[in-house]
Chains A and B, each alone.
Chain A
Amino acid sequence: MPDLYVANPPPSEKSSNSSFRLRGALIEPKKINFSTQRQGEKVLLVLRSHWVTNLGWIFLGIIFLFLPLALVKFPLIAFLPEKYQVLVLIGWYLLLVAYLFQRFLTWYFNIGIVTDQRVVDVDFYGLLYKEITDAELDKIEDVTEIQIGAVRTLFNFGVLSVQTAGENKMIEFSDIPNPRQVAKLLQDLR
């Protein structure tokens, strides 16, 4: 049995909200459902990009958060009246919050779902593009894991490509943790 997925985990491994985490993937989450879920269909795995992929924008956010402090040393907007200086600062933080919120939403809702019947890939690109692809487990022909680069090897995340026989030939889960274990689980399920 793959060590990523355990059908009936012992109660000690479960967290208080009846779902538990194991190496970056949500396994059998009780509180996560999706709108096209069939009656009786059980969500086995919810896969998001590895948390390391968020470090770039979080780091940028922290820098931009404190960047206005540099105005004390370099008074670039000192020529503006006081009210306009306040407006510039408010505008700066509004843009920053919008950027961080947008990045979080993109990470949080770009997920791969493995159920006991199919795999579903949910992609939200930016604000205006949504793509939802699904394939039945018995239509899965080939599962390929791709792990390139030192960071991916170090933190053990990568791309998982699922080749299917259906209309949507390829489903791709980007930067998911433990792609090998997820690939093994899919091979066992089909």
Chain B
Amino acid sequence: MENFEKIINFFLSLSFWSVTKLVALVAILIYIVFTFIVIRQVSAMTEFITSPINFYLKLMAFLLFGVSVLVFVSCLLFI
């Protein structure tokens, strides 16, 4: 019962902006998972078909992943 009260108190002590930050972090985390799936998918596609722009497509997929991780870290540290 005491633990339950502690949990309730913890959530009550959270400010509106802390909850907003938490929601933003979760959303970016989902985006990171999505970009990881994109990397896997681009790998599967480029493995099946060899084309002159395969390198650029892989680069783009990794860039997307990198940027999303960067945004997550920035959100964690600066917001």
Task: Flag if B50 contacts A34 (CB, 8 Å).
Answer: yes
Q: Which B residues are within 8 Å of any A CB, using their own CB?
A: 17, 20, 24, 27-28, 31, 34-35, 37-38, 41-42, 44-45, 47-53, 57, 60-61, 64, 67-68, 71, 75, 78-79
Q: Which residues of B contact A34 (CB under 8 A)?
A: 48-50
Q: Which A residues are within 8 Å of any B CB, using their own CB?
A: 17, 31-36, 81, 83-84, 87, 90-91, 94-95, 97-98, 101-102, 105, 108-109, 111, 122, 124, 127-128, 130, 132
Q: Known contacts A35-B47, A130-B44; decide if A98 and B64 are in contact (CB<8 Å).
A: yes
Q: Which residues of A contact B27 (CB under 8 A)?
A: 91
Q: Can you list 25 A-B contacts with CB-CB less than 8 angstroms, sorted by A residue number?
A: A32-B49, A32-B50, A32-B52, A34-B50, A36-B48, A81-B17, A84-B20, A87-B24, A87-B71, A87-B79, A91-B27, A91-B28, A94-B64, A94-B71, A98-B38, A101-B60, A102-B38, A105-B42, A108-B53, A109-B49, A122-B49, A127-B37, A127-B38, A128-B41, A130-B44
Q: Which residues of A contact B20 (CB under 8 A)?
A: 84
Q: Which residues of A contact B60 (CB under 8 A)?
A: 101
CA distance A97 to B75 in the complex (A): 19
Q: Known contacts A81-B17, A83-B79; decide if A132 and B48 are in contact (CB<8 Å).
A: yes
Task: Flag if B45 contacts A105 (CB, 8 Å).
Answer: yes
Task: Flag if A98 contacts B79 (CB, 8 Å).
Answer: no
